[in-house]
Structure formats: C-alpha cells, structure tokens
Amino acid sequence: MSQQQLSRRDMLKTATAVAATSSFAAIPAAAQNANPAGDGALRRIDQILRQATESKASPGIVAVAATDRGVIYEGAAGGRDIEKGPPITPDTIFWIASMTKAVTGVACMQLVEQGKLQLEQEMGKLLPELASPQVLEGFDANGAPKLRPAKRPITLRHLLTHTSGFVYSVWDPLMLEYEERTNTPGIITCKTAALALPLVFDPGDRWQYGIGIDWAGRAVEAVSDQSLEIYFRENIFGPLGMTDTGFLIGSAQKARLATKYNRKADGSLESSPFEMPQRPEFFMGGGALFSTPRNYLAFLQMLLNGGTFSGARVLKPETVALMGQNQIGDLKVVTLKTVQPDVSYDADFFPGMVQKWGLTFDINTEPGPNGRSVGSLCWAGVFNTFFWIDPKKKVTGTYLTQVLPFADPTSLKLYGEFERGVYDALKSA
C-alpha cells in the first residue's frame, strides 16, 4: 500500500536523520537496525485503512505524514471509485474545500510582511462592498430582512479569525433563512452574489465559522492586482512545487480525480458527481481548491519548517509563529451546529476542550487524544479532508477522502487512528 519502495521502518528511521529536499523526495537507504516497533505502528495504519475501504465503510483514502526531517508515512487504500477503480494513490486529485483557507491565510500574511496589508486594516477602505456592513437581526412580518449598521468596521484580522460576523448557512439557521428568502446563491456556486450577505453579529463580538476568508481572498486580489489563481501559483504553489493544486482543473488532473460520495441513512455510500465551478465569477479563497496529498503535504511541511521548504522561503519564521498563536483573545471556538444535515453533522474536533483560533487555524489548548501536543494547529474540508501541524513534536499529516456529510463519524475515527499511529511510530523510533 505504501508508494515508497523502502520499508516503513526505513522511512521512519531515515526521517530522523535526513532533511527532506521535496515533499516526496527519494529517501536514502536506511541503517541496518531500523526500529521494528515504529514500523509496526505504521503497518497498523495500513491495516486500518485497508479494512475500512474493503468493507466499503469508507471510499478511497490517502494519508501522509512528515516530520521536520522528511516523510514518515504514505498510505493509500481503496479506489478512486468504489466500484470501478483504479486504485487511489498519493497523486490522486481531491477537492480540499476549506483546507483552501490556510493557503489564503498564507497569501494574506505574505502581503502583511510586505506592508501591503495590515491585520488591523479596515477592509471597507480596500473593498468598498465592506464599507458599510449590516447586521441581520431577523425578519419582519412580511418576511423582509431586518438589518442595522454594524457597530464597528471589519478588519483583516476579523476575516482571518472568523470573528467578522460573516457565517455559513450550513451552521446558522438565520443565515439559511436569509438565503432562502432572498434567493441568494450558496457560496459554493462561486457567484459574486453569494458574497453579498449581511453579518449575524458585530465584528469582534464572537467566533463563528463563515465566509470571511473568501473576503480575505478578495483583499489579496485587490492589493496584488492578480486573481487568486495566479497569485497562489506564482507565490505559493510554484515555489513549493505544488503543480497539482489550483482552482481550475486540467484534463490530466481530472483523470486522477477521486469520486465524491454521500453517506446514506443506512451507512452505505452513494456516488455523487461533483466539480467546483470551472468558470467562477470569483475564486473562492475559503474553499475551492483541488490538490493531491503529496502537494498539500509540501504546503504543511513549509509551515512546520517555519515558512521554508525545499529551498523556497514562503514566509518568515516569525510570521508562521504568529499564525499559530491565539488571535481571538477571550473568545472561544464553538461547536458547529448543523442546520443542513445532508451537508454536515455537528462538528467539533475537541469536544469539551477550550479551543482558540490563529490566523486560519484551530488551536487545541490541551493535549489531543491521539498524541497531538498543546498548541497544535488543524483544520479540514467539507468532504472530510483533514490536516494537523504539531510545532512542538515537529510532525504534520493530512488525511483525505471524499464523502459527505462533513464530520462523518467513520472518517473522523479513521483520521484519529491515523494520527495515533503516526505518534506511536515516533515514540517507538
């Protein structure tokens, strides 16, 4: 199942001594006395993923992980399509949805480093559409929205931390009703009208997940005078060798696309054709990228390594450190309570734990149940793609499949077992 020719124990042993030169660089031959305990933990991941796909509890899965020294795990199980294959591989194309947000955050922070954006900058002065934000308070007797002016302007920090007042209708009944009453298209349509939403609270008053980072993407375009597709390619994907990542999917990439599935009430999976709009009215910085596990791991390794990877400097170390710090003060990340159960279950990566938010990352304030250190960073995409970055233990990983609803219990369990296996292997090495 591993795509590398050497054994897992070789990979693990060598990763502690050899710096990676690319996201999946050839790993030199390892020492004779590689630790079989670490190898055993990684083989258990293989077995878990294989059992899940063979039983059709999950569609095809790819999981990859690396330390600051290099790749330690690369596993794939199942097919790109459950019924007709071919086998899924680490260069399979996935729609990574909200894993796009971290990329947009990096783009914003590049421009902050250059002095072209500031975290406390009032976005209405850059983006006229945000100059007079309105807060939705409900609907009158005729069903018309009741709006009032926001108490304060929206800043870039608000947009990047989900404290702007913008929300997603998937987890907000008031916004869902607004979209239905006003016939506003959903954000995933990539129609400009989808951005023309009111706030549901005043900027800075609380944390609630939403479309703020789509507006942050518009800010990148405004100051760079480039589309996000071009800006990302020239300033992030190109330097990191992420040639299979973007908003617009080519024919060769489409041939490697994983099929999306919906989980039915009885737990079975039903294929559901899906493709992000390929003639979008705007590039959705909050959730429209496709990528491969290998490509996205390169991005994660860059962040793990303080902004540098494979000889390319994308961000300064102090900028990466800032992105991983609590940026919402006393506010707390809250459970995403679904109002569209066909799209998402209730979602909370650390139930009962106080969680904070950095500049596009969820931050756990206690040790994670599967080995993650306090202060680690994570997020996900709606099709049950997940990643984490552990700056203390110097390890990162990503787990990708394509199934709805989000926060699918089966996918979360497999993601957790993958993470636990990686940490068990590191402890045993």
**pLDDT score of 83:** 87
Neighbour count for residue 212 (Cβ, 10 Å): 28
Minimum mean pLDDT among 2-6, 97-101, 210-214, 391-395: which range? 2-6
Distance CA 175, CA 197 (A): 8
Q: What is the pLDDT of residues 105-117, one digit of tens each?
A: 999 999 999 999 9
Cβ–Cβ < 8 Å for 236, 106? yes
Q: What is the 3-state secondary structure (H, E, C) of 86-152?
A: CECCCCCEEEEECCHHHHHHHHHHHHHHCCCCCCCCEHHHCCHHHCCCEEEEEECCCCCEEEEECCC
For the chain, give the mean pLDDT: 92
Distance CA 71, CA 64 (A): 8
**pLDDT score of 355:** 98
Distance CA 320, CA 331 (A): 22
Cβ–Cβ < 8 Å for 99, 286? no
Nearest to 131 by CA among 121, 117, 141, 140: 121
- State the amino acid at position 87 in one-letter form: P
Cβ–Cβ < 8 Å for 8, 2? yes
Cβ–Cβ < 8 Å for 75, 104? no
- CA 198 vs. chain centroid, Å, equals 25
**pLDDT score of 36:** 47
Q: What percent of the chain has pLDDT over 70?
A: 91
Nearest to 429 by CA among 32, 38, 69: 38
**pLDDT score of 130:** 98
Distant-in-sequence, close-in-space partners of 326: CB < 8 Å, separation ≥ 6? 356, 357, 358, 363
**pLDDT score of 11:** 45
Distance CA 422, CA 398 (A): 11
pLDDT of 276 > 80? The answer is yes
Domain coordinates in residue numbering, the chain = 8-110+223-428
| Band of residue 384 on the pLDDT scale cut at 50, 70, 90 | very high
Nearest to 209 by CA among 164, 242, 143, 149: 164
- Which strand (E) or helix (H) includes residue 44? helix 36-54
* Tokens representing residue 303 in the block: 């962040």
| Rounded-to-10 torsion of CA 289, 343, 357, 137 | 120
- β-strand partners of 364: 355
Catalytic residue IDs: 98, 101, 209
- State the amino acid at position 261 in one-letter form: Y
- Which strand (E) or helix (H) includes residue 416? helix 409-428
Architecture in CATH of 8-110+223-428: 3-Layer(aba) Sandwich (3.40)
DSSP state of 184: P
Q: What is the pLDDT of residues 27-53, one digit of tens each?
A: 222 222 234 447 899 999 999 999 999
**Residue 409 three-state SS:** helix
Q: What is the pLDDT of residues 198-252, one digit of tens each?
A: 999 999 999 999 999 999 999 999 999 999 999 999 999 999 999 999 999 999 9
The average pLDDT across 403-412 equals 98
* Tokens representing residue 85 in the block: 């294959």
The average pLDDT across 73-94 equals 94
Cβ–Cβ < 8 Å for 53, 410? no
